[in-house]
């Protein structure tokens, strides 16, 4: 770190409904104080302030009116939780790598700075058209390395600091103990959003005692396995035995949040409507019919469609830009775009068919089911659902996405992923049992038995009986094939 004068530097405070008071620069540790004051400067930059205009939960406020919290509030909360986690590292490790601590804290604050409007809903549109500027990890990395944020980070923290932060944010799995604070199954991000999302949605079934979990954290060594049989050891965060029940509740709470909030049928219906609208807007641009959208040619949405690989165009988009455009889109000459815009404006969300629920009902578990049989049954259900989705998409293959009568929605999220030898054990939750450090899934039947949350739905965008009948017929056909061993 490059020494800098802190003379006259004033600490800053943020009121938070989750964490009460979050302070920047109030610690007596000079190096830590320097970092936090520089991060406060980062908070003032244009890219970070843009997060005020992006809701953390996208369209969830259409279901949970209190869920209006932003990515900015979430990011500052994650910064706070990251400091608590590195506090556990400092308590346990005599020779803590303070530079890596600083990188981790900065990465925690900036991990979501590249999110697009409506958060993950925008990423679905980007994935469909393979747009890199709709991938929040990529955009976050670009913003951290350059521009205002990069200049601030490299100013007092040393040349190359911004690149280190960006690398940690973009990594698919933690490279070391400090990176696990930012990216793992027990990281600052998850601990942060679980508390905030539960509070702001009003959901009561997903409470997590984060304070108890963090107070029972230490650092321990775990063996690393590999495909060639070689082993070694790495340091990772470990929970004390007193936190076992709380850790189990944490995993169950993750599952409940996905069941009750993130996967809510109305929220996903709004996201699917937004996806269809954006696809139709892109089509109008490609067909040189932007005038039929009702938007002026210099509107941020049109500029993004013209050059979706421009970082500046991506930064110009946020939730308020879209909502501000909605009256124009709702009066569009193009009937499809107009209909989709009116649906979002008036919360007239599409009806849906729960494909997975119907398939599960057709293949119920017996009174007593062995683990192997259960695994095979669930795999069969997943295969049938996939076949239904494929069949529905094939039937509409020649129809542009925005004009389809039926748009499918599929999602899977595991509340806890067991250790894979191709990954690092630092991604796991570990607990000390006696003298051993073990994966939570090996000592807890609750964690081991936590099955993935799956949804498979068809949203119907036409007010007719034919579309729903088509979906029901496809489901029956694919289940019939499965019944005869054809799936």
**Residues 454-478: what's their mean pLDDT?**
95
**Fold that domain 12-215 belongs to in CATH:** Hypothetical protein af1432 (1.10.3210)
Task: State both tokens at 418.
Answer: 């067991």
**Residues 120-147: what's their mean pLDDT?**
96
- For the cut 80, the answer to whether the pLDDT of residue 381 exceeds it is yes
Would you kindly state where each structural domain of the chain is located, as residue ranges?
12-215, 265-349, 352-415+450-483
Determine the angle formed by the axes of helices 188-201 and 71-92, rounding to 10 degrees. 140
Closest by CA to 219, choosing from 172, 165, 181, is 181
Strand partners, 268: none
- For the cut 80, the answer to whether the pLDDT of residue 423 exceeds it is no
**Residues 197-202: what's their mean pLDDT?**
98
For residue 12, the surrounding DSSP H or E stretch is strand 12-16
**Residues 213-222: what's their mean pLDDT?**
94
pLDDT digits (tens, 9 = 90+) for 239-260: 999 999 999 999 999 999 999 9
**Residues 84-105: what's their mean pLDDT?**
96
| Mean pLDDT rounded to a whole number for the chain | 93
pLDDT digits (tens, 9 = 90+) for 33-63: 999 999 999 999 999 999 999 999 999 999 9
Task: State both tokens at 414.
Answer: 């595991």
User: pLDDT at position 482, please?
Assistant: 82
User: pLDDT at position 225, please?
Assistant: 64
DSSP reduced 3-state for 214: helix
Residue 18 CA to residue 77 CA, distance in Å, equals: 8
**pLDDT tier for residue 227 given thresholds of 50, 70 and 90:** low
| Residue 330 near residue 341 (C-beta atoms within 8 A) | yes
> If 0-12 CB within 10 Å is exposed, 13-18 middle and 19+ buried, where does residue 163 land?
middle
pTM of the complete model: 0.93
């Amino acid at each position: 770190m490059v020494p800098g004068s802190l003379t006259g530097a004033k600490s800053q405070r943020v009121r938070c409904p989750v964490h009460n008071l979050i302070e920047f620069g109030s610690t007596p540790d000079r190096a830590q104080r320097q970092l936090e004051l520089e991060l406060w400067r980062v908070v003032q930059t244009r890219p970070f302030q843009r997060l005020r205009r992006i809701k953390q939960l996208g369209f969830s406020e259409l279901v949970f009116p209190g869920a209006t919290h932003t990515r900015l509030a979430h990011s500052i909360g994650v910064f706070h939780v990251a400091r608590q986690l590195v506090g556990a590292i400092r308590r346990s490790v005599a020779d803590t790598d303070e530079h890596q601590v600083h990188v981790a804290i900065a990465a925690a604050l900036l991990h979501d700075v590249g999110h697009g409007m409506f958060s993950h809903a925008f990423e679905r549109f980007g994935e469909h058209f393979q747009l890199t500027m709709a991938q929040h990890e990529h955009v976050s990395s670009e913003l951290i390395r350059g521009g205002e944020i990069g200049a601030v980070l490299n100013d007092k923290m040393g040349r190359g600091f911004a690149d280190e932060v960006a690398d940690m944010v973009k990594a698919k799995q933690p490279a070391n103990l400090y990176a696990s604070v930012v990216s793992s199954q027990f990281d600052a991000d998850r601990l942060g959003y679980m508390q905030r999302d539960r509070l702001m949605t009003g959901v009561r079934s997903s409470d997590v005692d984060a304070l108890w979990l963090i107070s029972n954290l230490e650092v321990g060594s775990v063996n690393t396995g590999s495909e060639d049989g070689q082993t070694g050891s790495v340091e990772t965060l470990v929970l004390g035995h007193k936190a076992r029940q709380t850790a189990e509740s944490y995993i169950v709470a993750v599952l409940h949040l996905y069941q009750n909030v993130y996967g809510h049928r109305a929220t996903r219906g709004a996201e699917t409507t937004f996806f269809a609208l954006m696809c139709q807007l892109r089509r109008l641009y490609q067909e040189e019919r932007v005038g039929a959208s009702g938007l002026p040619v210099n509107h941020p949405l049109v500029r993004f469609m013209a050059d979706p690989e421009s970082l500046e165009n991506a930064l110009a988009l946020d939730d308020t830009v879209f909502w501000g455009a909605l009256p124009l889109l709702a009066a569009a000459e193009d009937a499809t775009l107009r209909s989709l815009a009116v649906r979002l404006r008036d919360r007239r969300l599409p009806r849906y068919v729960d494909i997975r629920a119907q398939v599960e009902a057709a293949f119920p578990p017996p009174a007593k089911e062995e683990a192997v049989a259960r695994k095979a049954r669930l795999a069969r259900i997943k295969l049938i659902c996939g076949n239904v989705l494929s069949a529905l998409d094939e039937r509409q293959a020649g129809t542009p996405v925005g004009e389809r009568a039926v748009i499918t929605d599929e999602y899977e999220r595991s509340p806890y992923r067991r250790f894979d030898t191709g990954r690092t054990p630092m991604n796991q939750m570990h607990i000390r049992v006696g003298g051993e450090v073990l994966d939570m899934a090996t000592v807890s039947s609750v964690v081991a038995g936590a099955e993935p949350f799956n949804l498979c739905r068809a949203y119907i965008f036409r007010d007719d009986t034919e579309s729903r009948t088509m979906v029901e017929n496809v489901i029956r056909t694919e289940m019939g094939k499965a019944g005869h061993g054809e799936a």
